[in-house]
Amino acid sequence: MTMEHVFRKAALTDIDRIMEIIGQAKAMMARLGRRQWDGSYPLEQHISTDIENGNGYVICHGGKVVAYGAVVFTGEEAYRNLRGGTWLSEGQYVVLHRLAVAEEARCQGFAGIFLKETGLMAIGKGIHSFKVDTNHDNSQMLHILESEGFSYCGKIHYHNGERMAFEKPL
């Protein structure tokens, strides 16, 4: 399927739409009994900080924001303490946090496109490793990571729980 889309930095004017998408994702996780995201995460302040730091990105389709994620090139503190495995590489990497796709755009390939665009951006910066984490029960994200060639590397810990960590060489 060919899909025209625009992958761009998020703007502060996108926050209302991004928070709508985040709210949809939280509601879906709650319906499915998942606890990765809750009332305290992610909040609008997380998104505005992402955008102000230049890490917030969106995919637009048909002129409308349909996906959001935080693309970070400065590392992730929690990734220093990988348990039960090893990373595939050392050195610089890109990490993606807070990936969410609008309810009306789910199952249309936008999460995979977001991952591909993030990887291309990393390669353009001379970075050849892509790391990400997710909850053990986030079956959609686990499926996407597998189909996009990510390898399970171990577990990391945040203040609100353990996550499965993955890496893909670029």
Q: Tell me the torsion sign for CA atoms 101, 75, 78, 164.
A: positive
- The residue written with tokens 């025209």 in the block is 4
Per-residue confidence in pLDDT tens, the chain, 170 aa = 346 899 999 999 999 999 999 999 888 887 877 777 766 788 899 999 999 999 999 999 989 999 999 999 999 999 999 999 999 999 999 999 999 999 898 888 899 999 999 999 999 999 999 999 999 988 889 999 999 999 999 999 988 789 999 999 99
Please name the amino acid found at residue 64. K
The reported pLDDT for the residue numbered 39 is 67
pLDDT of amino acid 37: 75
Where do we find the tokens 């291309």? 120
- pLDDT tens, position by position, 75-120: 999 999 999 999 999 999 999 999 999 989 888 889 999 999 999 9
DSSP 57-104: EEEEETTEEEEEEEEESS--GGGGG-BSS--S--S--EEEEEEEE-GG
CA–CA dist 105, 155 (Å, integer): 30
Q: What 3-state class would DSSP assign to 27?
A: helix
Count the Cβ atoms, other than its own, within 10 Å of residue 170.
Answer: 16
pLDDT for residue 1: 39
**Ordered structural domains, the chain, with CATH:** 6-169 (3.40.630.30)
Q: CA 100, 5, 145, 76: dihedral to nearest 10 degrees?
A: -60
